[in-house]
Amino acid sequence: MRNITIIVLSVVLAAAIISGLILYQRHLGTKDSLLISEKNLSELKEKVTQMNQETSTLQDQIRKNAKQLMELESAKEYISKLENAIKMKDQKLSEFNKKIHTSEKDVEEERKANEALRAELSSKDSIMTDLQEKLQGSQSHIRYLKEKVAKGHNKIQEFQGQLIDVKGQKSLAETKEGQLKSTYEALITDLKKEIKNQEITIKAFKDRISVTFVDRILFEFGKATITPGGGKVLKKVGGILKNVQGKQIRIVGHTDNIPIMPEYRYKFPTNWELSASRSSAVIRYFQKNIHLDPRNLEAVGRSFYKPIASNETSGGRAQNRRVEIIISPQLK
């Protein structure tokens, strides 16, 4: 208990000492603060004096500022007017800028339009060049066509000439055909008896007539001398042939295949000589007795190489022994 009391007393004593120290420190601080405050008061008085001076100066400045303020108010009003004027000018400038922008757009569009026009003009120039080339080509083609037409006209004239010739030839052919028909009809009429007796056969083709005589009517067996009866028949035929114009008269001799008899071989070694001699005898008769133009006459011997019937029978051989008179177009 005593120890506790001592401790408590020690603590109280320590607290008292500490409090005294704190109070002493505060006293020292207050003295220093008073000195500082006096110093500050002195400084404040100086500042007050200085501020009074500054206040006087500021009042003067205020008066000046008031004057300046009045001037500023006037300036402000002037500035307001200027601002209004500037605002109006800004509006006008804005409108002008819009117009400029519009104008720029118009100019740009105009530029684009001009470029398009230049491009179109260039294209048209190219087209014009192509058209000029085509025109030149067309002119050349026209000249070619004109030349062709001229040639065509010449050709037409040539064809017309040929047509006239063809018409003339046709007319001549029709005339010849009519003449051939008349010849055929005359032969049929004048040789009616011989035809009936099957001594003569007459056939008409498109451009020729064939008159076939059996050999017995003109010649004796194995001979080439015309009999009196054969002369009468040839006289009838020759009288009709004399009226034939522009025709080739071919005489063709035919035999059978029986060899020439020994007693006649000195004159006709083979059937070739016999057939040729018979056709020549008919031509000589026409030339000498009827006076046919020998330039239109032709003699041909065919021996037995062109039969019209079988040589195996006497009847067939009799048909093969014949003389043909062929009236045909002249060979060119």
Q: Residue 231: is its pLDDT beyond 80?
A: yes
In a domain, 108, yes or no: yes
Q: Which residue has the tokens 């042939």?
A: 241
Distance of CA 60 to the CA centre of its chain: 108
Distance of CA 303 to the CA centre of its chain: 67
Q: Decide which of 126, 142, 174 is a domain's last residue.
A: 174
Per-residue model confidence (pLDDT) at position 207: 85
Mean pLDDT, the chain, rounded, equals 83
Per-residue model confidence (pLDDT) at position 84: 81
In a domain, 247, yes or no: yes
In a domain, 7, yes or no: no
Judge if 321 and 223 occupy the same domain.
Answer: yes
299: Cβ contacts below 8 Å, ≥ 6 apart: 251, 253, 276, 279, 280, 282, 283
Q: Are strands 209-214 and 200-204 parallel, antiparallel or unpaired?
A: antiparallel
Question: Domain residues for 118?
Answer: 73-174
Judge if 200 and 298 occupy the same domain.
Answer: yes
Per-residue model confidence (pLDDT) at position 255: 95
277: Cβ contacts below 8 Å, ≥ 6 apart: 224, 253, 267, 268, 301
DSSP single-letter state for residue 1:
-
255 vs 123, more confident:
255
Largest distance between two CA atoms of the chain = 222
Confidence of residue 130 (pLDDT cuts 50, 70, 90): confident
Judge if 202 and 158 occupy the same domain.
Answer: no
Per-residue model confidence (pLDDT) at position 303: 96
Collapsing DSSP to helix, strand or coil, 83 comes out as helix
Q: In angstroms, rounded to a whole number, what is the distance separating the alpha carbons of residues 39 and 45?
A: 10
Q: Return the axis-axis angle of helices 271-285 and 228-241, rounded to nearest 10°.
A: 60
Per-residue model confidence (pLDDT) at position 3: 76
Please give the model's pTM, rounded to 2 decimal places: 0.49
How many structural domains compose the chain? 2
Taking residues 108-126, what's their average pLDDT? 78
Per-residue model confidence (pLDDT) at position 174: 54
Q: Residue 86: is its pLDDT beyond 70?
A: no
Backbone φ and ψ for 249, nearest 5 degrees, come out as: -110, 110
> Burial, 255: exposed, middle or buried (Cβ in 10 Å; 0-12, 13-18, 19+)?
buried
Per-residue model confidence (pLDDT) at position 131: 66
Q: Concatenated DSSP letters for 160-222?
A: HHHHHHHHHHHHHHHHHHHHHHHHHHHHHHHTHHHHHTTSEEEEE-SS-EEEEEEHHHHB-TT
| CA distances from residue 15 to 1, 7, 9, 22, 25 in whole angstroms, order as listed | 21, 12, 10, 10, 15
Per-residue model confidence (pLDDT) at position 316: 95
Collapsing DSSP to helix, strand or coil, 281 comes out as helix
Per-residue model confidence (pLDDT) at position 98: 78
In a domain, 228, yes or no: yes
Per-residue model confidence (pLDDT) at position 35: 81
Percent pLDDT > 90 in the chain is: 33
Per-residue model confidence (pLDDT) at position 280: 97
Query: What pLDDT digit, counting tens, does each position of 151-170 carry?
Result: 877 876 786 777 677 566 55
The two structure tokens encoding residue 194: 């011989």
Judge if 201 and 160 occupy the same domain.
Answer: no
Confidence of residue 293 (pLDDT cuts 50, 70, 90): very high
Q: In angstroms, rounded to a whole number, what is the distance separating the alpha carbons of residues 145 and 41?
A: 133
Confidence of residue 291 (pLDDT cuts 50, 70, 90): very high
Judge if 253 and 293 occupy the same domain.
Answer: yes
Taking residues 122-141, what's their average pLDDT? 77
Per-residue model confidence (pLDDT) at position 331: 65
Q: Residue 252: is its pLDDT beyond 70?
A: yes
Q: In angstroms, rounded to a whole number, what is the distance separating the alpha carbons of residues 327 and 332?
A: 15
Taking residues 99-125, what's their average pLDDT? 75
Question: Which residues, listed in sequence order, are joined to residue 201 by a DSSP beta bridge?
Answer: 212
Q: Residue 26: is its pLDDT beyond 80?
A: no
CATH of the domain at 274: 3.30.1330.60
Q: Are 254 and 324 in contact (CB under 8 A)?
A: yes
Q: Residue 235: is its pLDDT beyond 80?
A: yes
Per-residue model confidence (pLDDT) at position 324: 96
> Burial, 281: exposed, middle or buried (Cβ in 10 Å; 0-12, 13-18, 19+)?
buried
